[in-house]
Amino acid sequence: MTFIVRTLLSVSLTGFFLTVHAEGAAPAPAKADPAKGAAIFNGVCVTCHGAEGNSAITVNPKLAQQHPEYIAKQLAEFKSGKRANPVMMGFASALSDDDMRNVGAYLASTKAKPGFAKDKDLAALGEKIYRGGIADRQIPACAGCHSPNGAGIPSQYPRLSGQHADYTTSQLTQFRDGIRKNNLQMSQVAAKLNDREIKAVADYIAGLN
């Protein structure tokens, strides 16, 4: 085989493999659009979650300033049924993956309003658990994953600071009782907490800013 023929063959094969690779590659997801997310949120979500995600209803979570990846993940799990909630499943089922990312991007751009603890003694107990855990029962400190000020770690652990105590209490109780099943780590932690400890942590979190 001559040098010219070998070269032409090599170029042809290279082009072929590049074409196959390009055709087989999954398209990159579209960049999230906060403006589109705002339109969805204000048309559907605002009634329960408040203007800019600052819910005034204490059993509904504040979503303002939440990590966008966390919002998209929760919406996807509501849609699939992995996180059980009939109301949220109904809303999420109408959203595409792009819609979920857009809503997450919008909420990440908003500013969360501060909350406050209601019971000084209860919050003091909550602070001990949140910051130091309970060593003799192998309960880890919440701050290890959610950070000392409750800001969380983007794409891994949600922002908690200022969250309604009623909502946090309900979610920890659901994790403990096996009702909420979309986070094994949280289920294992919550399983070791009693009602008073759950309420204490929730009240302390409400006052974090």
In the chain, the domains with their CATH numbers are: 34-108 (1.10.760.10), 120-206 (1.10.760.10)
- CA gap 68, 98 in Å, rounded: 12
User: Taken in order 141, 155, 33, 93, is the CA torsion positive or negative?
Assistant: negative
**CB of 100 closer than 8 Å to CB of 90:** no
Would you mind telling me the total number of residues written for the chain in this entry?
Answer: 209
Which residues have C-beta within 8 Å of that of residue 191, sequence separation ≥ 6?
175, 176
What amino acid is encoded at 199 in this protein? K
- CA gap 130, 126 in Å, rounded: 6
Reading the chain (209 residues) residue by residue, the pLDDT tens digits are 554 434 434 444 444 444 444 455 556 678 999 999 999 999 999 999 999 999 999 999 999 999 999 999 999 999 999 999 999 999 999 999 999 999 999 999 999 999 999 999 999 999 999 999 999 999 999 999 999 999 999 888 999 999 999 999 999 999 999 999 999 999 999 999 999 999 999 999 999 99
Both tokens assigned to 142:
């919440």
Task: Check residue 13 and give its pLDDT.
Answer: 40
